[in-house]
Structure 1
Amino acid sequence: MYTDKQEYSFSTCWNIKRYTNGQGMIEEIKSLGFKQVELNYNVTEEMLQTIEPMIERGQIGVSSVHNTFPHVADPDYGTDSVLLGFDDETRRKRAIELLLRSAEYAHRYGAKAVVVHPGEVPFEYNIDEALKKIYHDQGPDSPAYQSLWQEMLEKREDGSAYYLSRIQESLEEVCDLSEQRGYGVNFGIETRSRCYQMPTLHEAGTIIGQMKGAPLGLWYDIGHGMMMDRMGLYDNVREANALIDHVVGVHIHETVGLADHWCPYIHSKDMTFFDSFLDIIDRSPVKVYELKAACTPEEIDESHGIITARIAERHVARQRG
Structure 2
Amino acid sequence: MNTFDPVPALSTCWASENCQSAADLLDQIRKTGFDKLELEYRLTTPILQDLLPELKPRGLKISSIHNFCPLPLDMDPALAGGDLFNLASRDKETRQRAVSLTTSCLEMASDLEVERLVLHLGWVEGLENKQVIKLAAGESASSAELTRQLEYRNQLAPAFRDAVSFSLEKLFKRAEPLGVVLGIENRYHAFEIPDLTEAQLLLKRFKGAPLGHWHDLGHALVQQAAGLPGPDKWLTAFGRDLVGCHLHDTLAEKDHLPPGQGDASWPDLLPLLVDSPCFVMEVHPGPEPDEIKESAQMITELLHNTHAQKTKGKEAHEDSSGGGGHGKGQPGTLTP
TM over 0.5: yes
Answering whether residue 160 of structure 2 is matched by residue 157 of structure 1, we say no
Q: Give the residue type in structure 2 aligned to 1:293.
A: P
Please name the residue that 2:199 is paired with. 204
* Contact 1:185 1:215 survives alignment (8 Å): yes
The offset of 1:49, in angstroms, is: 2.3
Q: CA-to-partner distance for each residue in 1:15-58, whole Å, 9 max, x for gaps?
A: 11221111330332133121111111010111022112113546
> Are the structure 2 counterparts of residues 297 and 55 from structure 1 closer, same or farther at C-alpha, using a change threshold of 3 Å?
closer
% identical aligned pairs:
28
Answering whether residue 217 of structure 2 is matched by residue 225 of structure 1, we say no
The offset of 1:130, in angstroms, is: 4.7
> Using the alignment, how far apart are the partners of 1:12 and 1:193 within structure 2?
20
Q: Secondary structure at the match of 1:197?
A: coil
Higher relative contact order (CA 8 A, sep 6+): 2
Please name the residue that 2:239 is paired with. 244
Answering whether residue 262 of structure 2 is matched by residue 268 of structure 1, we say yes
Q: Give the residue type in structure 1 aligned to 2:46.
A: E
Q: CA-to-partner distance for each residue in 1:194-213, whole Å, 9 max, x for gaps?
A: 11111123321221111111
* Contact 1:81 1:120 survives alignment (8 Å): no
Q: Give the residue type in structure 1 aligned to 2:172.
A: C
> Are the structure 2 counterparts of residues 226 and 169 from structure 1 closer, same or farther at C-alpha, using a change threshold of 3 Å?
same
> Are the structure 2 counterparts of residues 311 and 164 from structure 1 closer, same or farther at C-alpha, using a change threshold of 3 Å?
same
> Using the alignment, how far apart are the partners of 1:257 and 1:113 within structure 2?
30
Please name the residue that 1:174 is paired with. 171
> Are the structure 2 counterparts of residues 23 and 281 from structure 1 closer, same or farther at C-alpha, using a change threshold of 3 Å?
farther
* Contact 1:68 1:78 survives alignment (8 Å): yes
> Are the structure 2 counterparts of residues 252 and 35 from structure 1 closer, same or farther at C-alpha, using a change threshold of 3 Å?
same
Computed over aligned residues only, the root mean square deviation of the Cα atoms, in angstroms, reads: 2.4
* Contact 1:55 1:109 survives alignment (8 Å): no
Q: Give the residue type in structure 2 aligned to 1:183.
A: L
Answering whether residue 21 of structure 2 is matched by residue 21 of structure 1, we say yes
Which residue, 211, 218, 235 being the options, matches 1:216? 211
Answering whether residue 285 of structure 2 is matched by residue 290 of structure 1, we say no
Point out where structure 1 has 5 or more consecutive residues left out of the alignment.
none
> Using the alignment, how far apart are the partners of 1:6 and 1:59 within structure 2?
18
Q: CA-to-partner distance for each residue in 1:68-116, whole Å, 9 max, x for gaps?
A: 1110327999533661112121221111111111111111122121111
Structure with the largest fraction of helix = 1
> Using the alignment, how far apart are the partners of 1:280 and 1:131 within structure 2?
24
* Contact 2:118 2:214 survives alignment (8 Å): yes
Please name the residue that 1:115 is paired with. 118
User: Which residues of 2 match residues 126-165 of structure 1 at below 5 A?
Assistant: 126-130=128-132, 132-133=134-135, 136=138, 139-140=139-140, 142=141, 145-165=142-162
**230-239 vs 30-39, greater mean Cα deviation:** 230-239
> Using the alignment, how far apart are the partners of 2:195 and 2:85 within structure 1?
15
- TM-score relative to the length of structure 2: 0.83
> Are the structure 2 counterparts of residues 259 and 269 from structure 1 closer, same or farther at C-alpha, using a change threshold of 3 Å?
closer
Point out where structure 2 has 5 or more consecutive residues left out of the alignment.
317-336
